[in-house]
Structure 1
């Protein structure tokens, strides 16, 4: 029975990998609908808790969340398989995009996804509605939700998200007396292997990157460093990669980077898969042919995804023991309320981007990022209502949006 459930879970993750457009917030909305509401692998509160835990760690939040759910359901083996199933489609597509860049019709790509963004907003809005319905039950939670949504909307700094989660947890910590004492608590046992592995690879990659001129090793080090230090997902990672690989190292041009950014927004799965695209283009002048470019893609993908994976494996092993304590349980109330507020802010930002972002970005990137596709409020509302109706699969909604984009010029 358990083996059968694991197979079904991997099929579900594969379905998400091919249909989860729109970045981490939309990914969370689709996970909520499929993994919580339909399959009931975990509760809404558990998904929010895992997502918030992953958001407090550096790395790709959606990928870490998928990995953590796999670990909860079937241990390390299922977690690694879920990670592979989730990442492989996007990494493969971005690798192919890099190899075929000179023949890739970017105008068609933009037209193809013109209706995907408003559909993604509908997914995020529905997620915000469902999450708030499930986890916000007190006046304190309502206040935290509203405050977190406003702060996340107006202040788009990389560190805002983890700080808001920590503050929300700190505020509700004082309500710990409302929770029952858990008898016979399990002792907290920290297994340091994955933490030591993360740090060891970090130091080794930095050392090799300093002393070697072989580009795949240096690419791995560059992406591993970025994956170890960036908070806030692909939206924060993109300007950092632009500054390093375009403006400083000149591995690819600004238009090439922006084309890759358009590709990664157009495909489902993790936005961090843009690392494989950059790895392909960085290797094109090394005289190693397509094989060398594939090696660059592998180095980029491994470098960007491994640190977050090591860190979530390190934390998730003692998280269940830690959450037995009343103080931790009380803090989770605030964390979940803030998480709901962040999803609300994401829906607002996707629907109505703030003209004057407070986040300082490199000049060329900021100029390109300021160009926003018009959003159709009817599509947002229609998507929300279809999800509320619960009769139309997510893949059908996304497929219809892509088909409409291909047909409408």
Structure 2
């Protein structure tokens, strides 16, 4: 089945030969590793537009489920989502191909950037800082677009709206590694309790006409069915005013979830490997630098929830605090990775290559060790849980729980907008970055990026390039004032 055809939503291609499935995945995803700028929140939107709306590889319902699962598991959020979409559509080996096509362009690019950073002087020209700040401001605008669109998809009732707002506000007030997964868990528990209570009390109902009036703008009153944009539960059921209304599905969805036994084995394997890494760190007082780098990044990939924006402070602690990379080089790399295509976890490639100065191994070997340590926990867990998901998804309360987890994850996308806003302004002598709000020019740059992509459909690569140009336009103005 070619991507040029129009399959039914969620129609798997597992019944076609492997060579054809590999070709289909290659044709549909080869360019994403080169063109998907803006970080995980933007990637979610790109995947939805391509795989759900355009290619129709999976249905909207499956996308929402996979999005919630990938956010609830540690590791690179957008990388897991793209991988799981291809896994459900075409099987394991095609999903591996998609993973490589997705990661390698950015990884190779960040390795080259690490080599270049090793050659630059201690202080960069003011023009370079202006260019990097323009890139950061454009990225913030793109992430705000993604947060807006994902919020529209995740809001199914007043409770999900409150969870998004509450999680976003809570994420602004405090930041810790354990905090973000707890917020998503709380969102899931809220919807679980609420939906269960509404079902148990569904015997007390208002007349249907009164129930619908003013409360469901997406509901077709004449047909009695929800419009295309309204989210449904796991089995075609929509909770509305306490009633689980069975909506006949227009399409029969074929989804591949893999072997449950294999999935369970992968989950157990991950737990054993995690315990092994922790035990070795405890019993070996002075491990080699190479193992310490691997274990630091492996633990980071295990305890990071929410993807790229969350990984930055932890890598600062695990890499810069060890003395392997300078603070200046860290923040130069941070500005560049925000405007690089592909996953933000490729930042580990950049940092590991720079850390080679403290090792006898070549930089390319350290870069591979770092990437393997960062990516492997999340990808193994994603494969494992995808394989057992077909069993888990039959449990009704899982759908109730994931509805809140999904809303909480979207709220944290708004938090990511704020976090990047607060560190996006690169200035000489301020290596840690400062708020874009310090200068109206960067506010305008972010607003132009938002409007260009949201209202005029300017592609993200062009938005990023425009941000860099606006940054360089700002430099002569600042120089003229001095």
Scaled to the shorter chain, the TM-score interval is 0.7 to 0.9
Following TM superposition, the consecutive aligned residue runs of length 4 or more in structure 1 with deviations greater than 6 angstroms are: none
How many Å separate the matches in 1 of 2:177 and 2:287?
A: 31
Deviations 1:122-178 (A, max 9, x none): 323322332333332322222222222222222223223222222222122231434
> Is the contact made by 1:141 and 1:337 (CA closer than 8 Å) also made in structure 2?
yes
Q: Return closer, same or farther for 1:32/1:126 CA change in 2, 3 Å cut-off.
A: farther
Alignment of 1:215-254 (within 5 A): 215-247=289-321, 249-254=322-327
Q: CA deviation at 1:10?
A: 3.9
Deviations 1:184-219 (CA, angstroms, capped at 9, x unpaired): xx9x94532212332343355556774996543443
Structure 1 CA distance, aligned partners of 2:60 and 2:138? 22
Aligned-pair CA distance for 1:275: 1.8
Tell me the distance in 1 between the aligned counterparts of 2:161 and 2:84: 27
The whole-number CA distance in structure 2 between the counterparts of 1:265 and 1:67 is: 21
Q: Distance in 1 between matches of 2:319 and 2:114?
A: 15
CA contact (8 A) 1:17 1:87 kept: yes
The whole-number CA distance in structure 2 between the counterparts of 1:131 and 1:266 is 21
Kept in 2: contact 1:21–1:27 (CA 8 A): yes
Q: Unpaired segments of 5 or more residues in structure 2?
A: 2-12, 14-18, 200-242, 248-256, 425-429, 476-482
Matched, 1:36 2:52: yes
- Listed one character per residue, the Cα deviations across residues 95-117 of structure 1 (whole Å, up to 9, x for unaligned) are 22222323247556544343333
Q: Which has the higher helix share?
A: 1
**Higher normalized strand content (fraction of residues):** 2
CA RMSD of aligned residues (A): 3.4
**TM-score, length of structure 1 as denominator length:** 0.81
In 1: Cα distance, 2:52 partner to 2:464 partner: 20
**TM-score normalised by the chain length of structure 2:** 0.70
After the TM superposition, which residues 32-111 of structure 1 pair with which residues of structure 2 at under 5 Å, given as runs?
Answer: 32-104=48-120, 107=125, 110-111=129-130
Contact 1:208 1:217 in 2 (8 A): no
Structure 1's 29 and 160: CA in aligned 2 closer, same or farther, altered over 3 A?
Answer: farther
Structure 1 residues 99 and 352: alpha-carbon distance in aligned structure 2, compared to 1, 3 A threshold: closer
The answer to whether the 8 Å contact 1:252/1:281 transfers is yes
Equivalent position of 2:203 in the other structure: none
For residues 406 and 150 of structure 1, do their structure 2 counterparts lie closer, same or farther at Cα, with a shift above 3 Å needed?
same
The 3 A distance-change label for structure 1 pair 157 and 300 is same
Return 5+ residue gaps in structure 1 as ranges.
Answer: 355-366
Alignment partner of 1:319 is 2:393: no
Alignment of 1:153 onto 2:216: no
Counterpart among 310, 335, 340 of residue 262 in structure 1: 335
Which structure: larger Rg?
2
- Partner SS for 1:283: helix
Structure 1 stretch 255-264 or stretch 197-206: which is displaced more? 197-206
